[in-house]
Amino acid sequence: MTLAHTAWGDAPPSVLLLHGMLGSADSWWRVAPVLADRRHGVIALDLPGHGRSAPDRSATVARVVDAVVTTWRSLSDAAPRLAIGHSYGGTVLAAALPSLTPERAVFVDSPFIKQGAHDADEARAYYSESVAARTAEGLRARRPFYSERDIEAEALAASHFDVETAVALSASPGDDWTPDGSTPALMVRPAPSPYITDEVAEALRARGMAVTDVPGAEHSLWYSHFDEFLAAIDDW
């Protein structure tokens, strides 16, 4: 599978962005232009079943990794200088590190251990409810820190989201894709985070990964704390 993508900047592609579950390439609408202004060619992918990419009703993390790597290689002859993955996109990025071989990787509140074999009916109900809640009105009420442009991006992404692709991912086998430390990597997490707890953060630091906290931030850090999110990457 080749994935749909959005590009920013005139330079050859050197930065790869992977959105989270229920998001899309447009989730990076504010981050990507800043990176492009720094003379990077930026590529944001729509993962399978998201945005303009086709569904994959047999999706596994391995299949999504294959699609990501295939798409990047169709766009660039070189490995990414920087790859950033948010949440589920960070899980995919971690699993893709051996094949994608970015020079540096940033994970944004991304769990690396996937619990597999979830009940399909329960997953279907969960994702269906999540989609139904992500209307413009719902987002405006539940996420007051979103700008109107943020709301537009996330509501549109939800309307394009393929529930059955997510169900297949939930039902697929679990695994542990925690990076082994061979790629310089940073974890940016809100503090507190239900995904990257203090215990998990210390374990990542022990493996050589840098971990930066953004107190009070939301799961999508750049929506709630844009300047602090960019500063975390710059300081690293």
What is the DSSP code string of 1-12? -PPPEEEESSSP
Write down the residue that tokens 């300047």 correspond to. Answer: 227
Specify whether the CB–CB gap between 65 and 95 falls below 8 A.
Answer: yes
From CA 49, how far away is CA 161, in angstroms rounded?
6
Confidence band of 115 (pLDDT split at 50, 70, 90): confident
Sign of CA dihedral 85, 49, 175, 81: negative
What mean pLDDT, rounded, does the chain reach?
A: 97
Of 190, 40, 50, residue with least CA distance to 107 = 190
Query: How big is the CA angle at 24 (ends 119 and 61), to the nearest 5 degrees?
Result: 40
128 burial (CB, 10 Å; 0-12 / 13-18 / 19+) is: middle
Task: Enter the tokens of residue 129.
Answer: 């409810």
For strands 41-45 and 13-18, give the pairing: parallel
| CATH value of 5-114+176-235 in 3.40.50.1820, 3.30.450.20, 3.30.930.10, 3.30.390.10 | 3.40.50.1820
Q: How far is CA 101 from the centre of its chain?
A: 17
Q: What is the pLDDT of residues 186-235, one digit of tens each?
A: 999 999 999 999 999 999 999 999 999 999 999 999 999 999 999 999 99
Q: What is the pLDDT of residues 139-181, one digit of tens each?
A: 999 999 999 999 999 999 999 999 999 999 999 988 999 999 9
Residues 6+ apart with CB under 8 A from 194: none
Give the CA dihedral 16, 170, 27, 73, nearest 10 degrees. 20
Write down the residue that tokens 């169900």 correspond to. Answer: 167
Confidence band of 23 (pLDDT split at 50, 70, 90): very high
- Return the pLDDT at 114: 83
Average pLDDT over residues 20-48: 97
